[in-house]
């Protein structure tokens, strides 16, 4: 019942156009390319003793040559912000960007008048075995739907149909969380672990998602967690 309920609610809202068309079956086609110190003041010279009858003009004391200012290294250019992810439509409505934080974008939409907010990112690296298998776009969502009293729900669009009856996994640090799968979507299997997983992601560096396609292709997708905490805070402000 839990799988059926989440599948009926989450996918029409968060995946929109992505799930309207099933992920393409893997075919042998080319894979799409997937990122100065001041100079010291010279000492004042002592006056020469006045001769009784000077025969020559006293020599003018030599001026100290100012030291050449030390060269400073040029400042490193600032790292450009990550390009915002273009999310799929939510219930036919184009989401509005609330802010981009590192690799994560915070978005909101109101399909059917019901507000939805979510943080979304694409993987920073993806691998398949066999290598270079073509896939549809891959996303990780963490969403909130106040009307349904849902907050920080983790879901993944993997870019291919999962092998029926198989589980996927998401590793954050040293902890691995089991994910149940349906078509090309995955959700945390044990709902009691979801808050723990989100907290780990807030403090972590990366999340590694692994799965197996209907044709047996193994995939490993790594999501950077840089900016996730800020994106979730923004989502929380918008969807209280």
Tell me if 117 is assigned to some domain. Answer: yes
Q: So what's the pLDDT on residue 177?
A: 98
Question: Residue 67's pLDDT is what?
Answer: 52
Identify the CATH number of the domain in which residue 167 sits.
2.60.40.1880
Cβ atoms within 10 Å, residue 208: 16
Residue 165 CB-density burial (10 A; 0-12 exposed, 13-18 middle, 19+ buried): exposed
- Distance separating alpha carbons of residues 87 and 53, to the nearest angstrom: 96
| pLDDT at position 232 | 97
Q: At what angle do helices 194-203 and 228-238 cross, to 10 degrees?
A: 130
Domains held by the chain: number = 1
Domain assignment of residue 224, yes or no: yes
At residue 51, the pLDDT reads 43
Instruction: Give the residue numbers spanning the domain of 88.
Output: 2-19+81-238
Closest C-alpha to 24, from 160, 116, 125: 160
Residue 66 lies in a domain: no
| pLDDT (0 to 100) of residue 92 | 87
**Residue-level pLDDT at 189:** 96
Nearby residues of 100 by Cβ (< 8 Å), 6 or more positions away: 81, 82, 84, 106, 227
- Alpha carbon distance 201, 138 (integer Å): 18
Q: Which stretches in the chain have pLDDT values below 50? A: 1-64, 69, 73, 76-79
Does residue 10 fall inside a structural domain? Answer: yes
Q: Looking at the domain assignment, is residue 234 inside a domain?
A: yes
Asked, for residue 58, whether it belongs to a domain, the answer is no
């Amino acid at each position: 019942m839990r799988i059926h309920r989440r599948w009926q609610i989450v996918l029409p809202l968060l995946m929109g156009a992505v799930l309207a068309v099933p992920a393409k079956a893997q075919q042998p086609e080319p894979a799409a390319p997937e990122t100065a110190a001041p100079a010291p003041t010279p000492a004042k010279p002592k006056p020469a003793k006045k001769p009784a009858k000077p025969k020559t003009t006293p020599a003018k004391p030599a001026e100290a040559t100012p030291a050449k200012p030390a060269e400073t290294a040029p400042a490193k250019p600032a790292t450009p912000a990550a390009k915002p992810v273009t999310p799929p439509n939510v219930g036919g409505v184009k989401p509005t960007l609330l802010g981009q934080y590192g690799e994560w974008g915070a978005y909101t939409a109101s399909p059917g008048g019901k507000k939805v907010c979510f943080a979304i990112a694409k993987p920073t690296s993806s691998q398949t075995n066999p290598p270079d298998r073509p896939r549809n776009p891959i996303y990780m969502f963490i969403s909130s739907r106040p009307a349904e009293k849902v907050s920080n729900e983790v879901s993944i669009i993997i870019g291919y149909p999962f092998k029926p009856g198989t589980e996927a996994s998401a590793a954050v640090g040293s902890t691995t969380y089991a994910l149940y799968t349906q078509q090309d979507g995955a959700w945390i299997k044990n709902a009691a672990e979801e808050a723990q997983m989100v907290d780990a992601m807030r403090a972590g560096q990366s999340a590694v998602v692994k799965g197996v396609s209907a044709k047996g292709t193994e995939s490993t997708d790594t999501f950077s967690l840089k900016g996730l905490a800020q994106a979730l805070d923004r989502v929380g402000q918008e969807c209280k």
